[in-house]
Amino acid sequence: MTFYRLVAPLWFGEDYAASLADPTIVEAWNQRLNAQREEINSLKRHSTEQIDALTLRLGEMQARLMRLDALGQRLVEVAKLDQGEFNFDTPPALGGPIESYSGDSYRLPDLTTSLDQIQAQIDHRAQQLELLNDLFANRQFEAERFIAGRPITRGWLSSHFGYRTDPFSGRRVWHAGVDFAGKEGSDVIAVAAGVGTTAGKRGGYGWLVEINHGGGLVTRYAHCKELLVKVGDIVQKGQLIALMGSTGRSTGPHVHFEVLKNGRQVDPIKYINRASR
Ligand SMILES: [Zn+2]
């Protein structure tokens, strides 16, 4: 023993033995090791946090998707569409986050698969909702733009379209619209959806609302007491747009109602008398 103890420094070389024993080097090594351990732990913690956050988002996405499905399903029912054409009640893909989420963090491959599945579901639903939207837009817009009914809720037809005796001059003159008489301040409503293109005072018309319905069709509501829409307003069918009055060239409270087709007044009676679609 004594021999080795004596010999070892000689055998390994004096410097090497000394370096092994150097406490500062050992300390440095330990520090490096600890730093790496800490880094790994931090990375692990970080990725777990990220996975948890992603899992949470995945759960939210699927909840949203389910709400969209419910909405789509309701739209299909409301519109009385062919159910087979729009399928919003397909069961969620197997292994979805809601069924399997148990509080544990996802493993990465699971998460990737779930994200892919939900992406595919969203793409599919988006496509269906898009189709549904197109269908709705066309159908509803056409029906809404369809001019039908009277521009008032209470009152009576007091003058037809065509030649008549002018109430001011007593002469035979052309009457370019239909008159509805009623109580001053009663409702004047839009006969179809459109955009307000005139809302103001205009000569003999008095306070006038003009609505463009597209397709070359315009309606006018004249002699109003008060206007309730502005130029540029989107107007719904049946919307209250003005109050009946006697402004302009008028002898008493009434609405002078015109329908213009490609800029020319036509007899509104066929529009008034037809049933709404
Ligand atoms: Zn008139």
Report CA(141)–ligand 1 centroid distance (Å): 29
Does any domain span residue 71?
A: yes
User: What angle in degrees, to the nearest 10, is found between the helix axes of 108-145 and 23-78?
Assistant: 30
**Domain co-membership, 186 together with 129:** no
Tell me the pLDDT tens digit for each residue of 11-20.
555 566 556 6
Does any domain span residue 100?
A: yes
Q: Please identify, among 145, 176, 206, the residue that sits at the C-terminal boundary of a domain.
A: 145
* Mean pLDDT of all residues belonging to the chain: 82
Percent of the chain with pLDDT strictly greater than 90 = 37
Report CA(242)–ligand 1 centroid distance (Å): 16
Report CA(256)–ligand 1 centroid distance (Å): 4
**Domain co-membership, 29 together with 138:** yes
Number of H helices, E strands in the chain: 6, 13
Q: How confident is the model at residue 98 (pLDDT cuts 50, 70, 90)?
A: very low
- Kindly report the CATH number assigned to the domain that includes residue 166: 2.70.70.10
Structural domain boundaries enclosing 193: 156-273
Report CA(206)–ligand 1 centroid distance (Å): 11
Report CA(156)–ligand 1 centroid distance (Å): 13
* Integer angstrom CA distances of residue 162 from 4, 6, 158: 133, 134, 13
**Domain co-membership, 140 together with 167:** no
Number of domains in the chain: 2
Does any domain span residue 249?
A: yes
**Domain co-membership, 116 together with 73:** yes
Listed residue (114, 67, 112) closest to 95, CA to CA = 114
**Domain co-membership, 119 together with 163:** no
Does any domain span residue 5?
A: no
* Threshold 0.75, pTM exceeds: no
Report CA(140)–ligand 1 centroid distance (Å): 31
Q: How far apart are CA 209 and CA 247, in angstroms?
A: 12
